[in-house]
Amino acid sequence: MINKKIRVGVIFGGRSGEHEVSIVSAESVISALNKDKYEVIPIGITKSGKWIAGESAIETLRSGSKVSLPKSEKIITPDPNNKGLVSVAQNGSVKNEILGLDVLLPIIHGPYGEDGTLQGLLELADIPYVGAGVLASSVAMDKVVSKRLFIQAGLPALPAVSFLRSEWKTNKTEILLNIKKALKFPIFVKPANLGSSVGIGLANSQKELISAILEASRYDRKLLVEQGLKNPTEIEISVLGNDNPEVSVPGEIIPSNEFYDYDAKYISEKSKAVIPAKLSKSVLNKINKMAIEAYTTIDCSGMARVDFLIDKVTDKIYLNEVNTIPGFTSISMYPKLWDATGLPYSKLLDKLIKLAIERYNSTRKSLTSYKPKKNWYKQK
């Protein structure tokens, strides 16, 4: 008897500043998935939000060409009776053709993919999916909210000031004064809901601070202005699991630029990663514990990469952020750290798919209906 292959939808691209990174991550994932175990369905979302599926999806998104073949347009509907991709007709109507999915692997970084929106659709569609649920995804994506939760949980985080883009337009002087009172240069300015260092700026003067705020405000309505450290040690740890998460060996990032910006992460070949990071046993134990605490604080599941900063002067450890859909390119830290821990890329994907199905089955044990003693709601 031949075992049926698990049909895995790999979804990538999306409407965010990390669209290009997502394409490269997805290509690596699709190449590494064991074709003896899985039937892989590439699902690309263009920058305009159009969904396409099939072998040409990656090349279509990479080229930026228009989708000319209606047969490639497929979407996931919130109807749990479909549990898969539904074809879209040329006139935009939904057909009855359904391609069922056993599990979906989201590789969309940033808004509209990593922020809980896609996860919410998949919950409604009743499709198992890899990674964090709606709550953890949305909380981790918002650097302002997650920082407040981490501080409340007793995890050390760098001081910061947050404000809205609309507030900057009307209260610029007051905001600058608040930043001056709370922080000292160097200062980082970040869009609250974005990753891959898109829109992030480092300021060493008020002129640079204003410029960084204007740049970050192009990408988000909410901004985080955070205390920077001079030449910190940047440590990353990969976390894997649902109710009982595990950590990988740590890695140290040595960026080619002044900080680990977009170019240093994906374009420059001069950035280095030291795996495993050379840490004392005491520091390693603290970071491992903090990584698990950060993961469980936001009720994360499946996977996440947890980033830390260590002050080289005081040796104090700061939790930087949690990334629920970390990069999966060939040079990305999340898979490299697990590989160094003894879990190679393809086996890591096997584990993530297993965890997705495990979480799905566990969630579905909960009752979703309640039968009242009287049918009061039927009364007119």
**Residue at 151 is within a domain:** no
What would the pLDDT profile of 105-125 be if each residue is shown by its tens digit?
999 988 899 999 999 999 999
**Bridge partners of 247?**
239
* 130 pLDDT higher than 70: yes
Domain tally for the chain?
3
- Residue 82 and residue 101: Cα distance in Å, rounded? 9
* 223 pLDDT higher than 50: yes
Residue 345 and residue 32 in contact, taking contact as beta carbons nearer than 8 Å: yes
What would the pLDDT profile of 45-87 be if each residue is shown by its tens digit?
999 899 999 988 999 898 876 655 556 688 999 999 999 999 8
pTM tops 0.85, yes or no = yes
| CATH code for the domain of 199 | 3.30.1490.20
Q: Are residue 203 and residue 319 in the same domain, yes or no?
A: no
Cα 133–Cα 252–Cα 301 angle in degrees, nearest 5 = 10
How is 313-377 classified by DSSP, letter by letter?
TT--EEEEEEESS---STT-HHHHHHHHHT--HHHHHHHHHHHHHHHHHHHTTS------SS-GG
* 260 pLDDT higher than 50: no
- Per-residue pLDDT, 337: 97
Q: How far is CA 339 from the centre of its chain?
A: 20
**Count of residues making up the chain:** 380
Q: Compare 256 and 362 and report the one with higher pLDDT.
A: 362
pLDDT grade, residue 90 (50/70/90)? Answer: low
Residue whose pair of structure tokens reads 């228009």 in the numeric block: 66
What would the pLDDT profile of 196-206 be if each residue is shown by its tens digit?
567 889 999 99
Q: Compare 144 and 266 and report the one with higher pLDDT.
A: 144
Cα-based torsion angle of the residue sequence 32, 130, 301, 233 in order, rounded to the nearest 10 degrees: 40
Q: Are residue 222 and residue 296 in the same domain, yes or no?
A: no
Tokens of 31: 């190449």
- Residue 114 and residue 131: Cα distance in Å, rounded? 9
How is 217-255 classified by DSSP, letter by letter?
TTT-SEEEEEE--SSPEEEEEEEEESSS-EE---EEEE-
**Residue at 368 is within a domain:** no
Residue 308 and residue 239 in contact, taking contact as beta carbons nearer than 8 Å: no
Q: Are residue 31 and residue 97 in the same domain, yes or no?
A: yes
Which residues lie closer than 8 Å to 346 by C-beta, 6 or more apart?
Answer: 32, 33, 34
Q: Are residue 123 and residue 184 in the same domain, yes or no?
A: no
Q: Are residue 123 and residue 28 in the same domain, yes or no?
A: yes
**Residue at 147 is within a domain:** no
**Residue at 358 is within a domain:** yes
- Residue 304 and residue 201: Cα distance in Å, rounded? 24
* 236 pLDDT higher than 90: yes
Residue whose pair of structure tokens reads 């440590």 in the numeric block: 235
Q: Are residue 105 and residue 12 in the same domain, yes or no?
A: yes
Rg (CA), the chain: 22
Distances (CA, A) of 377 to 70, 370, 372: 44, 12, 9
pLDDT grade, residue 369 (50/70/90)? Answer: confident
- Per-residue pLDDT, 1: 41
**Residue at 135 is within a domain:** no
**Residue at 337 is within a domain:** yes
* 227 pLDDT higher than 60: yes
Q: Are residue 238 and residue 207 in the same domain, yes or no?
A: no
Domain that holds residue 298: 233-363
Residue whose pair of structure tokens reads 């030449």 in the numeric block: 231
Q: Are residue 108 and residue 196 in the same domain, yes or no?
A: no
- Residue 251 and residue 237: Cα distance in Å, rounded? 7
Q: Are residue 220 and residue 240 in the same domain, yes or no?
A: no
